[in-house]
Amino acid sequence: MTFRLPAPLQKLHDWACRYEGVLLLITLILLLRLPNFSEPYWYGDEAIYLTIGTAMRHGSVLYQEIIDHKTPLIYYFAMVPGQIWFRMLNFVWMSAATTFFYWLSKKLFPVWLAFASSVAFVLFTTLPWLEGHIPNGELFVMGFILAALWILSKTKAFALLISSDAREKKNHRKTWLWTVDERKKIFVAGVLSGLALLTKVPALLDAGALGSIFFFIVVAYITPKTWKTVTLWFIQAGSIFVGGVFLPLVLSMVYFWLRGAIADYLQFGLLYNLHYSGNWTLPFTQEWLVAAFSLPGKALVLGVVLLISIAWARWKPQQSEAAWIYFWTFAALFAATLSNRPYPHYLLQTILPAAFALGILLRKHSHWIARVMMVDAIGAIIVVLILLDFGLYNTGEYYWRYIKMGSGQISPQEYRHEFDWLVSQNEEIVPIIVENTQPSDRIFLWGTNAMLYAQAQRAPATRFTVAFHVHDLDVYEQTMEEVRTAEPKFIVVMKSESELPGLSEYLHQYYLVSAETNDMILYRRTTLSSLDLLQ
């Protein structure tokens, strides 16, 4: 006798069987991210995002009244009610990104290898090694890029790129993708890539890598008989994709122009990245290494990689996807080292193409030269990691701390305080601020401790969230004037921070010490300002 489940359960069973690979991957992500939902406010960049999100929820105009130096979408994502919501958004986002990655991998590899590559993708984008447990911009970029690539994978162009059957490639080549449906898909993929750019500027290299798919198709299959048709198709497809990429950027400029903040958007959201990328000192002095890590040097390396990729795609068109992934990996590495800063989350941008490269390396029918290329690409990431001294986070300690808290070996308070030396001090200061202010009230912190703003869910009284930007842009007078105008109920001063000209006198005139910790002093406004006296 055959046992049959009730119809609803049978449908659920069939659905789970159909998507078992995706469900296993999402379960793995959830298990690895469980500690994320118990973390305190401790990570600086995340705190800046949440602080700006708080200010925007209370009406501040981004780049004009509250400022950081990234493109805008990450701050709109951070307009959630608090850190736990930001972490939940990150979990859902990366679950979707991993689903796209797995589906794309199944187009390139056997199911077992697609799953193995996806597991590698999950591990390197989730574990603390590269700060994958934090909602950094690189993770949101991945979601957009993978969604764009998934849309492109529905086109004949992508089928032409990845097919290992020469006859199938020849059949695809007979019609050069003139349909409206193809154009729509290419355009939507461009728009999604443009949204990645609006999340973080280095995503431009990923967008360029996706656009290079059309170039590699032309390189692999152009002939004396078809060059006119192929070239015309390439111009059309490339133009549609590029138009899609830049549409969100143009619309964002119109949006900020309508809000009266276009000059600030250009200065801080876009052009400031040029300044940020050019003022870091390398950890070595050898002339050839310094030259290699300069912008021209990295461009030269990427150019050589492109030539190698072109040669391979031309010689082995049936494995032209290997040439494309090889180029993409180096393009992503170029983006990750744009500023040469050794922040681990920058390397997250390389994990997406590197995970595909791992699949090419292990795939049975890959040519030995293609395998060498993948080893070269992955090896380049490792070499850069060592040379720039990227400090990887201790993953074992991270999970062991969570296990100790869960098993009662340490208290939740001890667990939180082990993340950062400021956590315990912020926990002393924040309740005082929250109890004596309204959510719409603004406070001022002089120093680098955006975690306090984020935890208190109070917006800054000035345009900048950390003293770093005030120092970097030399806007001391403007900052002090904004403090005087805002008359914040509370001012927090970090003891280690150099003095803000005029702040000590202002505090002496209008504020009294309300609380003090090892590293900061909390001042509370106690008297009327001169403006109040005039009224």
Confidence band for 279, pLDDT divided at 50, 70 and 90: low
64 in any annotated domain: no
Task: Output phi, psi for 516, to 5 deg.
Answer: -145, 135
Three-state SS at 419 = coil
User: Distance between CA 100 and CA 77 in Å, rounded?
Assistant: 20
Query: pLDDT tens across 50-66, in order?
Result: 999 999 999 999 999 99
- Specify the pTM: 0.92
In a domain, 258, yes or no: yes
Beta-carbon-side half-sphere exposure of residue 163 (alpha carbons within 13 Å): 18
**What's the mean per-residue pLDDT of the chain?**
90
Q: Tell me 166's DSSP state.
A: H
For position 13, what pLDDT does the model report? Answer: 55
Structural domain includes residue 528: yes
Give kind and range of the element (H or E) at residue 39: none
Assess whether pLDDT exceeds 80 at residue 136.
Answer: yes
Give the separation between CA 388 and CA 346, rounded to whole angstroms: 12
Q: What are phi and psi of 72, to 5 degrees?
A: -75, -25
Model pLDDT, residue 391 = 82
Q: Do 375 and 480 share a domain, yes or no?
A: no
| pLDDT at residue 220, as a whole number | 79
**Same domain? 377 vs 524:** no
Residues 454-503 pLDDT 10s: 999 999 999 999 998 899 889 999 999 999 999 999 999 999 999 999 99
Count up the domains in the chain and report the number. 2
pLDDT score at 528 = 57
Least confident of 101-105, 187-191, 529-533: 529-533
Do 348 and 428 belong to one domain?
Answer: no
Residue 172 and residue 308 in one domain: yes
d(CA 350, CA 167): 33
Classify residue 165: in a domain, yes or no: yes
- Chosen domain end from 387, 411, 436: 387
Pairing of strands 442-446, 520-525: unpaired
Q: Which domain holds residue 505?
A: 423-534
- 237 and 315 assigned to the same domain: yes
Confidence of residue 428 (pLDDT cuts 50, 70, 90): very high
The length of the chain in residues reads 535
DSSP conformation letters of 227-265: HHHHHHHHHHHHHHHHHHHHHHHHHHHHHHHHTT-HHHI
Chosen domain end from 332, 363, 387 = 387
Higher pLDDT, 274 or 130: 130
Convert the pLDDT of each residue in 246-270 to its tens digit: 999 999 999 999 999 999 999 998 8
378 plus 460 within the same structural domain:
no
Rounded Cα–Cα distance for residues 95 and 243 (Å): 29
pLDDT of residue 128 exceeding 60, the answer is yes
Cβ neighbours of residue 306 under 8 Å, at least 6 residues apart?
327
Residues 432, 381 share a domain: no
Structural tokens at position 240: 């549609």
Looking at the predicted structure, is the pLDDT value of residue 299 above 60? yes
Decide if 378 contacts 357 (C-beta within 8 A).
Answer: yes
> Is 107 a domain residue?
yes
Query: Same domain for 440 and 362?
Result: no
pLDDT digits (tens, 9 = 90+) for 145-188: 999 999 999 988 787 777 655 444 555 445 555 678 888 999 99
Lowest mean pLDDT among 35-49, 249-263, 274-288, 307-321: 274-288
- What gap in Å lies between CA 336 and CA 214, rounded to an integer? 24
Apex 144 CA angle, 142 and 150, nearest 5: 95
Higher pLDDT pick, 392 / 131: 131
Cβ pair 20, 400 in contact under 8 A: no
Q: CA-CA distance, 373 to 213, in Å (whole number)?
A: 18
- pLDDT band of 275, cuts 50, 70, 90: low
Q: Which two tokens stand for residue 217?
A: 């198709």
Assess whether 350 and 435 both reside in one domain. Answer: no
Let me know if residue 407 belongs to a domain.
Answer: no
The residue out of 387, 411, 435 marking a domain boundary is 387
Answer yes or no: do 380 and 431 share one domain: no
Residues 383 and 484 in one domain: no
Task: Work out the pLDDT band at 531, boundaries 50, 70, 90.
Answer: very low
Reply yes or no on whether the pLDDT at 39 is more than 70. Answer: yes
Question: Which pLDDT score, from 0 to 100, does residue 12 have?
Answer: 65
- Establish if 522 belongs to a structural domain: yes
Is residue 167 one of the residues assigned to a domain?
Answer: yes
Asked if residue 501 and residue 380 are part of one domain, the reply reads no
